[in-house]
């Protein structure tokens, strides 16, 4: 079920002749307080035209932007799995496009907590001793911050919508899955507060990872 924030986006889409069929929603607690954030993916259906045009996508982009939500599109993807599907997939009609919505708060949480987690790793004795696994972990956390920050900068321009979506898809590496599954932070974080930051960072990264792996038709984390 969509969060309150995303439900508002859905209603606005309906008012301009779009239907959005959500395939999966990942709710997420807002790190800074307030209503929960979330990410979701599904199929956008234009009820007024035989295909989804660039001009119509610009309308969707504006609706999402005004509601502090990032639109991610994958026009080249013509079939996708729902999160429970293992072998079968759903194909898009000519007036449909697979898209994702990721709320701005998810990105802000990932970026804010990644900086805190990276700082704690940098102060860890194993990092100072150049432990290979810890150095790799620090590299992944740094990459999360860099890639998500780059996405946010491009996300202000509707003309960059497709290229920004593609860069996000390619930037979410399989290494994120290792990070999210292994939960290696308990022995690296300096205190319980930083353990919490690490947990929030992984949760936010997972919200983004979910959308991208669905489009790639990769198995997600259950």
Q: What is the pLDDT of residues 13-63, one digit of tens each?
A: 999 999 999 988 998 887 777 778 899 999 999 999 999 999 999 999 999
88 versus 170: the higher-pLDDT residue is: 170
| Overall domain count for the chain | 2
32 versus 11: the higher-pLDDT residue is: 11
For residue 93, the SS3 value is coil
Domain co-membership, 126 together with 115: yes
Phi-psi region of 208 (alpha: psi -120 to 50; beta: other; left: phi over 0): alpha
Last residue of a domain, one of 74, 105, 136: 105
What CA–CA distance (Å, rounded) separates 162 from 71? 10
Last residue of a domain, one of 45, 76, 105: 105
Asked, for residue 221, whether it belongs to a domain, the answer is: no
Domain co-membership, 95 together with 16: yes
- Is pTM beyond 0.75? Reply is yes
Asked, for residue 151, whether it belongs to a domain, the answer is: yes
Domain co-membership, 141 together with 164: yes
Domain co-membership, 112 together with 170: yes
Give me the percent of the chain exceeding a pLDDT of 70: 86
Domain co-membership, 57 together with 67: yes
96 versus 83: the higher-pLDDT residue is: 96
Domain co-membership, 97 together with 81: yes
pLDDT of residue 44: 96
Asked, for residue 222, whether it belongs to a domain, the answer is: no
**What residues make up the domain containing 178?**
107-216
Domain co-membership, 16 together with 32: yes
Domain co-membership, 22 together with 61: yes
Domain co-membership, 89 together with 120: no
What CA–CA distance (Å, rounded) separates 118 from 138? 6
* CA-to-CA dists, residue 132 to 54, 115, 135, 171, 174, angstroms: 46, 20, 5, 22, 18
Last residue of a domain, one of 53, 73, 105: 105
């Amino acid at each position: 079920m969509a969060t309150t924030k995303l439900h508002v986006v859905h209603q606005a889409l309906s008012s301009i002749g779009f239907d959005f069929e959500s395939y999966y929603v990942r709710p997420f607690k807002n790190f800074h307080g307030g209503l929960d954030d979330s990410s979701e993916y599904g199929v956008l259906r234009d009820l007024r035209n035989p295909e989804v045009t660039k001009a119509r996508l610009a309308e969707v982009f504006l609706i999402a932007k005004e509601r502090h939500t990032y639109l991610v599109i994958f026009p080249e993807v013509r079939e996708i799995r729902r999160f429970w599907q293992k072998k079968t997939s759903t194909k898009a009609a000519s007036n449909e496009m697979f898209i994702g919505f990721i709320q701005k708060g998810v990105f802000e949480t990932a970026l804010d907590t990644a900086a805190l987690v990276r700082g704690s790793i940098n102060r860890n004795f194993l990092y100072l001793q150049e432990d290979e696994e810890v150095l790799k972990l620090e590299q992944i956390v740094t990459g999360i911050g860099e890639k998500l920050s780059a996405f946010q900068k491009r996300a202000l321009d509707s003309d960059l919508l497709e290229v920004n979506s593609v860069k996000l898809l390619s930037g979410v590496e399989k290494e994120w899955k290792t990070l999210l599954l292994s939960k290696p932070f308990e022995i690296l974080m300096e205190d319980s507060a930083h353990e919490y930051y690490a947990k929030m960072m992984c949760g936010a990264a997972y919200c983004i990872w979910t959308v991208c792996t669905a489009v790639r038709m990769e198995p997600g984390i259950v």
